[in-house]
Structure 1
């Protein structure tokens, strides 16, 4: 998809992108924003009410996302807060934040669905959130051809750090047989041929929705 097509899809799904973001965002950045929009749809399907904010206090309708890896506690970037009717706990959805894995090393999550408790800890202590507070993560590869085995191995390594069942790989190309075999039955998920409104986008949304529903059930008193 072209940058303009991605912009149109993101804005129709979640709101207006700020001009300064649109002017600097690459197609890969916009693809990540499109994946965030899928995450937002999944949260809403799971019963969540979403608010876009830059500071956790004030809602915004002008969206500006990161265009590179960054710290969750840094200001002036839009993220999403999700409230649910059956629990007082909330979730947050972020683009391009670092998350600490099992080894103690921080890794970029292109899209992260994370508990507000862990995000609050991150902001208070100016420390990267831990994988224990991660509900789901998406690794985005906006490639015209299937990612190679090196990408697949790196993704599985990310899964071993953040927990395999939380990690999802998404790309618009058709998966090669090799990377499909490599990732199959490892606990993480691979969504190829994923563009906005595609069948793969629906499958990813359904998968994330179930992850969120399971988290909500675990929070009930």
Structure 2
């Protein structure tokens, strides 16, 4: 039985035009790509399209990749571009249909490395729904900056590189996003019914 390829082998074979090299990279990075695209697009099918399109672009532009650099930052830029392209195409419809945040936990669970414990679901479900409702009010650029800063833990300079904009623009997106999220979460908190004491 053939041993699985490690990342340097997969990258070398992908750059040489071997689909098996790309398949290894898809296996390794598809989940991470979905976890970036989904909060930006807030739609499962759109996120899957963004990830698949990014892998297609990676195949088409494999000769542009510098093998001396890590794969993920280069590929992340493709995921962001595809997510922004899809978000731009659907400006006429809402980012997330009302009420569909109830499905977000189930969708995210399918993309997790392990099944969540029942306690995790109970503790996090309500706050996740509130956060997703708040994220819905941000622009795609603001959501992208938030995802890269707080999900991917990138610096402002790295976010600027991934988004193809200036560091100043990233600072503006993050500032505006934090202000809008703070207001949205306060509003959601205020409108939630109080839990009676036992």
Q: What TM-score do the two structures reach when normalised by structure 2?
A: 0.26
Which protein shows a greater Rg?
Answer: 2
More strand per residue: 1 or 2? 1
Q: What TM-score do the two structures reach when normalised by structure 1?
A: 0.24
